[in-house]
């Protein structure tokens, strides 16, 4: 889009074309010009003499009749006898001979006003003739090289221009304004006295208008005339050319035709927003139109005659139908032609913007076809979105957006064809359904440039999101390109691009404004589960742009099947993660919860299909179509599993916002358990999920949230599923809990068996038997479910776990049941509570075990005396749980060991180092390596917690990691090297003599290790070492720096692994930067003040 047009150059516009002459007199061009020609100063002096004010303080006295009469007499006397005025007298005589009406008026003495106007117009015509003659002279040569060019011969000085402006104002005020009827070009104010005689109004108006129109042809005179008096000049031409015959007595039909032609010519040549503005003023105010806000203090427009209103409407429609007419109309109406405070005020005035939009959306009567009008105007409306001027961009964009939305409501088909499709064309061009011969294009062809794509995305944001009109037409048109927008969003997430934020806003707006089923289908389409959105063409790829945007180009088809499969899987994973990222912003609206439930239902169908496939016998010799359908089904199953896993990992516990969503989630879980009972390798995970769902219902029934009557009506939909589960599920405890939950729901919590309370205690992580307090002051259940409690996330324990723990506790505390037991404190539990946590740390269900470990870690953080007294027991519990296969459990144990080691490093670190060096007996090599890597993570957390105090334990830590770097297991070697690198980075200056051992180990591994991952880790240690030491590397590593440099050069030259080479190059760059800073220190300008003795 081109930048907005510059401010109007009215002189050039006025001289851009020659208007038809309005006089019938002979032309001076080609005739005998009086010789000698008068000087330019002489003509201006005559104008000043004619407008000379009398002595006195009143500046308006120059236009009084007596003053005008005396000035005209003084001018005539000077023209007749003063030396040097003969040339002007001859030129004035020739001009008056050409305009008889002006000659008659100038000679009359009965009306000083009209006589002065005729004299002024005659002198101005003389000035025009003289300026034209001077312009025809050859240009003067410059003063020399480098000097400014001399002005042209027809250039007016500042004083002369000021005198000419006064003369034009007096000529218009005396010769044009008094002869216009009321309502035609009149500004508000006191009415002018009617001139006399009335019969001569038409002839005088024509004479003055003709002279002014002729003056408008010259740049020096047309500029000030059209800038200040365009409205009155247009009013005179309209009255003479189109007004009633009664106002143009004495004017022939040919003269009226020339007036109409001159009107068209001036309107075509003048700055179009100015023309629009003056025509609106001529049109006057409509009937009973209330002023807009902020315009109450402005003078109201007068009521124009009906013929003038119709004529101005036609002329305004013609301005609109011209090229760039939309922008001219908008600029003229919005009063923003000069920018500044007027444009800011217009931006706030939304009423005015909406009014302009309605004007642009309605087809004028001059246009015969509505489609032709849309074809002409719609591209200009879209261009309004690209205005770069900050002062006017806001109002122009609002006008464009409102106009587009209005057109979409009134004529949806035409608006879609001429507005929405061109707006979305860059995105439609590269969609998978585009009618474009992409296969025939060569690789590297750019389909959509960076500027075009960025402009398209910004326009979509302005029209759809800022306009915020959720009509079916707009939503449907946006859905057609939503797949491309999502692909662009995924690309921007992986790169640095300013398009990330607008794409995210567009996607979120569509998901929130569309119907829920449409939004869910679109989310499934993003990850490839259906075809509800048009994805990016398979041969199109995004490229990073030089300006922070992106471009779309054609790429070659990947011939390597493995590489193509890898890119496809990576793209699917990226899309799944980005969908989950979008859902994280839609949790309050409930969309995230609904989509999670939809995925769980899809998972239920996957389980049913797997059950059916396992029961049916394999059919040999399938056809290609059946194989393709089978592979498509398997791909869909994998996508569903991947999506559910990512949602469970990343979506927070506030995903459910009301009881209805919790009910749907539990129903989907129960239905999956009924369809496919937990058997096989995934039986443990299925049992945990079922226990979590049933425990969630038990927690709600036990008072975790306040349930209303409507909530029980929702929960009642679970009764058939619970009844079926109590009959068909293979585990007896789960059957019993399902039956008890069904009873509790049917009785609305009036009868709650003990199993329900035990399951609720397991979900909430409470001691069995303690009550739960209902959230006071929070009506309903939605705030409790979505307000930040960890109820959905923590509930993973099975219904059998609480009962086992309860039995163990009753057996161990049976002697103390005679007296009342003290209530345990939440901050510092009693020994009985600590014993319960130690028992729960061996819970067979991972959620209960992890919760107990987390609680024990919090006790260590709070420095609970009972917990610190049992530090050895706690260490044993944590180390045993480190070997657990569940990530939630062993990460909780790692955290506990790290906290305990940071409190007592002297006691705990030797035990950890011994375990790290010698794995436990009776374990497999793989399990031992995994356990040692987990212990390495514990040691690194302790290192970070110790900070500078790690120097005391430097030797055993380094030796342990060096021994791990020689382990037969490659993963353990890489892990040990990674830990060694971080330890060296933290030691810094305290490395000491061990740097020789570290360097020798790294050199040997980087050159001889058979696994690329281990060599990569060894080179990465060098990178961390150089980054940690920075400028001091030359001091600390002075004995081994040359060996490290040779090692890195060897890796770059001989290493086949690309990632290892990249690490080596990064290390060389780091070393190069360090050496440059040492050899060429930055020059610092310092001022030293020395005090002499």
| Burial of 543 per CB tally in 10 Å (0-12, 13-18, 19+) | middle
Question: For 583-617, how does the pLDDT look when each residue is reduced to its tens digit (9 = 90+)?
Answer: 888 877 888 888 887 887 777 777 666 655 555 54
pLDDT averaged per 10 residues in sequence order, the chain, 1093 residues: 43 44 46 56 84 67 72 82 81 85 77 84 87 78 67 81 88 86 66 57 86 87 88 88 82 88 89 87 68 50 80 86 84 62 54 82 80 88 85 82 89 90 90 64 83 92 89 90 92 89 93 90 87 84 89 81 79 87 83 82 70 52 68 76 77 67 78 68 66 77 73 81 82 81 79 68 53 34 34 35 37 34 36 74 79 84 80 82 81 83 79 72 63 80 76 77 80 80 72 75 83 84 77 73 83 84 84 80 77 76
Q: Give me the pLDDT at residue 489, please.
A: 93
Amino acid 769: pLDDT: 46
Q: Are 14 and 217 in contact (CB under 8 A)?
A: yes
What is the DSSP annotation of 457-514? HHHHIIIIIIT----HHHHHHHHTTHHHHHHHHHHHHHS--TTHHHHHHHHHHHHHHS
432 contacts 525 by C-beta, under 8 angstroms: no
178-218 tens-digit pLDDT? 888 888 876 544 445 555 566 678 888 888 888 898 888 88
- What is the reported pLDDT for 594? 83
State whether residue 781 is helix, strand or coil.
coil
Those residues whose C-beta lies under 8 Å from the C-beta of residue 811, and which sit 6 or more positions away, are none
219-242 and 158-175 are packed helices; what angle lies between their axes, rounded to 10 degrees? Answer: 10
Q: 550-554 and 540-544 as β-strands: parallel, antiparallel, unpaired? A: antiparallel
Neighbour-count burial of 760, counting CB atoms closer than 10 A to its CB (0-12 exposed, 13-18 middle, 19+ buried):
buried
Determine the Cα–Cα distance for residues 34 and 765; give it in Å rounded to an integer.
113
Between strands 550-554 and 446-448, the pairing is antiparallel
Q: Say what the pLDDT of residue 990 is.
A: 66
| CA angle in degrees (0–180, nearest 5) for 307-309-310 | 65
Which among 205, 207, 213, 211 is positioned nearest to 176, based on CA atoms?
Answer: 205
How far apart (Å, rounded) are the C-alpha atoms in residues 997 and 1009?
17
Q: In the β-sheet with 550-554, what is the strand arrangement from edge to edge?
A: 446-448, 550-554, 540-544
216 three-class SS = coil
pTM above 0.85, yes or no: no
Q: Is the CB of residue 466 less than 8 Å from the CB of residue 487?
A: no
How many whole angstroms separate alpha carbon 647 and alpha carbon 596?
7
Give residue 507's pLDDT: 93
Task: Give DSSP secondary structure letters for 930-997.
Answer: HHHHHHHHHHHHHHHHHGGGGGGGHHHHHHHHHHHTT-S-HHHHHHHHHHHHHHHHHHGGG-TTHHHH
- For residue 2, the model assigns a pLDDT of 43
């Amino acid at each position: 889009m081109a930048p907005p047009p510059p401010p109007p150059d009215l002189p050039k516009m006025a001289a851009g074309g020659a208007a038809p002459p309005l006089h019938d007199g002979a032309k001076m061009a080609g005739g005998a010009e009086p010789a000698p020609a008068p000087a330019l100063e002489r003509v201006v002096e005559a104008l000043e003499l004619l407008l000379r004010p009398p002595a006195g303080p009143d500046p308006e006295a120059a236009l009084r009749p007596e003053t005008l009469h005396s000035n005209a007499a003084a001018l005539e006397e000077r023209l007749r006898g003063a030396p040097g005025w003969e040339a002007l007298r001859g030129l004035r005589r020739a001009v008056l001979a050409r305009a008889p009406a002006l000659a008659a008026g100038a000679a009359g003495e009965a009306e000083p006003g009209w006589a002065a106007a005729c004299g002024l117009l005659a002198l101005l015509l003389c000035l025009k003739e003289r300026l034209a003659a001077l312009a025809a002279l050859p240009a003067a040569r410059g003063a020399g090289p480098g000097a400014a060019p001399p002005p042209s011969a027809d250039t007016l000085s500042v004083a002369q221009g000021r005198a000419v402006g006064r003369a034009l104002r007096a000529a218009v005020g005396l010769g044009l304004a008094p002869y216009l009827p009321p309502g035609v070009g009149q500004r508000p104010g006191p009415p002018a006295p009617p001139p006399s005689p009335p019969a001569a109004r038409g002839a005088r108006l024509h004479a003055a208008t003709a002279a002014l129109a002729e003056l408008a042809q010259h740049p020096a005179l047309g500029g000030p005339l059209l800038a200040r008096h365009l409205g009155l000049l247009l009013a005179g031409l309209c009255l003479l050319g189109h007004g009633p015959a009664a106002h143009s007595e004495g004017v022939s039909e040919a003269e009226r035709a020339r007036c109409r032609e001159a009107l068209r010519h001036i309107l075509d040549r003048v700055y179009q927003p100015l023309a629009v503005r003056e025509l609106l003023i001529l049109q006057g105010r409509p009937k009973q139109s209330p002023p807009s806000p902020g315009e109450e203090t402005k003078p109201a427009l007068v009521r124009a005659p009906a013929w003038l209103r119709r004529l101005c409407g036609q002329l305004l429609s013609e301005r609109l139908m011209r090229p760039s007419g939309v922008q001219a109309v908008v600029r003229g109406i919005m009063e923003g032609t000069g920018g500044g405070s007027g444009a800011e005020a217009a931006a706030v005035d939304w009423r005015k913007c909406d009014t302009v939009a309605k004007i642009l959306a309605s087809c004028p009567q001059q246009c015969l076809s509505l489609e032709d009008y849309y074809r002409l105007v719609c591209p200009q409306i879209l261009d309004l979105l690209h205005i770069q001027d900050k002062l006017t961009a806001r109002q122009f964009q609002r006008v464009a957006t409102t106009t587009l939305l209005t057109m979409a409501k009134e004529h949806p088909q035409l608006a879609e064809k001429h507005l929405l499709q061109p707006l979305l064309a860059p995105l439609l061009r590269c969609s998978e359904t585009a009618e474009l011969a992409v296969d025939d294009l060569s690789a590297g062809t750019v389909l959509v440039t960076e500027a075009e794509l960025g402009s398209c995305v910004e326009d979509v944001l302005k029209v759809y999101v800022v306009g915020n009109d959720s009509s079916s037409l707009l939503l449907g048109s946006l859905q057609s390109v939503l797949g491309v927008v999502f692909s662009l969003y995924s690309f921007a997430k992986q790169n640095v691009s300013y398009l990330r934020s607008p794409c995210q806003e567009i996607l979120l707006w569509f998901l929130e404004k569309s119907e829920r089923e449409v939004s869910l289908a679109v989310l499934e389409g993003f990850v490839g589960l259906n075809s509800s959105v048009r994805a990016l063409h398979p041969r199109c790829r995004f490229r990073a742009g030089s300006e922070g945007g992106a471009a779309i180009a054609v790429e070659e088809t990947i011939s390597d099947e493995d590489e193509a499969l890898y890119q496809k899987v990576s793209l699917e994973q990226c899309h799944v993660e980005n969908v989950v990222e979008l859902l994280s912003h839609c949790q309050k609206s409930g969309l995230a919860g609904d989509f999670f439930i939809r995925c769980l239902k899809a998972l239920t169908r996957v389980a049913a299909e797997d059950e059916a496939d396992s029961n049916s016998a394999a059919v040999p010799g399938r056809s290609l179509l059946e194989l393709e359908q089978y592979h498509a089904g398997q791909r869909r199953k994998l996508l569903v599993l991947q999506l559910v896993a990512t949602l469970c990992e990343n979506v927070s516990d506030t995903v459910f916002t009301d009881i209805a969503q919790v009910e749907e989630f539990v129903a989907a879980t129960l239905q999956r358990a009924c369809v496919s009972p937990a058997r096989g390798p995934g039986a443990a995970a299925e049992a945990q999920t079922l226990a979590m769902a049933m425990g969630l219902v038990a927690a709600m029934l036990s008072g975790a949230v306040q349930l209303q009557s409507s909530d029980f009506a929702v929960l009642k939909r679970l009764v058939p599923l619970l009844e079926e589960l109590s009959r068909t599920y293979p585990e007896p405890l789960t059957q019993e809990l399902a039956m008890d939950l069904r009873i509790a729901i049917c009785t609305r919590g009036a009868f709650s068996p003990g199993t329900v309370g035990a399951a609720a205690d397991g979900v909430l992580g409470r001691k069995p038997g303690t009550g739960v307090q209902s959230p006071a002051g929070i009506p309903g259940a939605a705030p409790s479910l979505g307000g930040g409690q960890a109820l959905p996330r923590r509930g993973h324990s099975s219904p059998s776990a609480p009962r086992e723990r309860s039995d163990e506790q009753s057996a161990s505390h049976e002697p103390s049941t005679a007296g009342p037991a003290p209530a345990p404190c939440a901050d510092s539990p009693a020994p009985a509570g600590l014993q319960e946590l130690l028992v729960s740390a061996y819970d067979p269900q991972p959620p209960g075990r992890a919760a107990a470990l987390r609680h024990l870690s919090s006790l260590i953080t709070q420095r609970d005396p009972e917990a610190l007294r049992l530090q050895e027991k706690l260490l044993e519990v944590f180390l045993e749980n480190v070997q657990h296969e569940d990530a939630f459990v062993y990460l909780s144990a790692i955290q506990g060991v790290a906290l305990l080691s940071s409190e007592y490093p002297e006691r705990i670190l030797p035990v950890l180092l011994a375990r790290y060096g010698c794995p436990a007996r009776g374990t497999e090599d793989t399990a031992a390596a995994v356990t040692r890597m987990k212990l390495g993570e514990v040691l690194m957390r302790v290192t970070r917690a110790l900070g500078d105090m790690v120097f005391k334990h430097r030797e055993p830590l380094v030796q342990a990691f060096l021994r791990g770097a020689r382990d037969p297991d490659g993963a353990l070697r890489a892990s040990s090297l990674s830990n060694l690198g971080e330890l060296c980075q933290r030691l810094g200056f305290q490395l000491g003599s061990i740097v020789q051992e570290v360097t020798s180990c790294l050199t040997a591994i980087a050159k001889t290790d058979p696994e690329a991952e281990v060599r990569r880790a060894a080179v990465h240690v060098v990178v961390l070492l150089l980054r940690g030491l920075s400028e001091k590397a030359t001091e600390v590593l002075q004995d081994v720096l040359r060996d490290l440099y040779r090692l890195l050069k060897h890796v770059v030259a001989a290493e086949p692994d690309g990632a290892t080479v990249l690490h080596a190059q990064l290390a060389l760059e780091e070393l190069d930067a360090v050496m440059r800073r040492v050899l060429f220190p930055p020059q610092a300008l310092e001022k030293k003040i020395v005090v002499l003795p």
